[in-house]
Structure 1
């Protein structure tokens, strides 16, 4: 249980959540991620270091550039579940339910 609580704590930051969502599409450099989340590369690097320590992201170095990717799909699933739960708090008919009805 303690480790699960630590994971939720890691996700209790908007920048880290945005980084996870950005990485769901694949590997990216710190500078590219910084542009996406509109933060400085230094700030993004600090957040990514925390996600790396939590084993939520991994790195690959190519020359002087470091690329980050999600370690597995679970971080995105947790974030999406949290977003869906938030939609239930805000909307009578959450968007994720409407989307699944139109797919049928």
Structure 2
């Protein structure tokens, strides 16, 4: 099992550690997290709809989307003059969901499954 972790980049000496840090840095902004959650729920949205969903200006959301697109976390589809954004895959969404779950645990709002399972 240890060999499998090393081969897929999960060891502490992995070549992917620095890139993983860049992913976390990309997600270390509340508006981007909100955008990812909105896209996770809606599937696909235009800049204006995303701006409404995250309660930010369309110009600001557009700048965040450009960064997320450069990081390959979102992709686009054009229909006429409207550009629709969607998550490229589930990985960014999974990271955000895990971070929200961790925040819930820290605040004590959710039971800690690993503790409950240990006492069963």
TM-score for the superposition, normalised by structure 1: 0.87
Moved over 2 A (4+): none
Alignment RMSD, CA only?
1.4
List runs of 5+ in structure 2 lacking aligned partners.
1-16, 114-120
Q: Which has the larger radius of gyration?
A: 2
List runs of 5+ in structure 1 lacking aligned partners.
98-104
The higher relative CO (CA closer than 8 Å, separation ≥ 6) is in: 1
Q: C-alpha separation between the residues in 2 aligned to 1:36 and 1:95?
A: 29
2:54 aligned to which of 23, 29, 37:
37
Q: C-alpha separation between the residues in 1 aligned to 2:55 and 2:73?
A: 21
Deviates more, 1:82-91 or 1:50-59: 82-91
Structure 1 segment 19-38 matched on structure 2, within 5 A? 19-24=35-40, 25-38=42-55
Paired residue total: 96
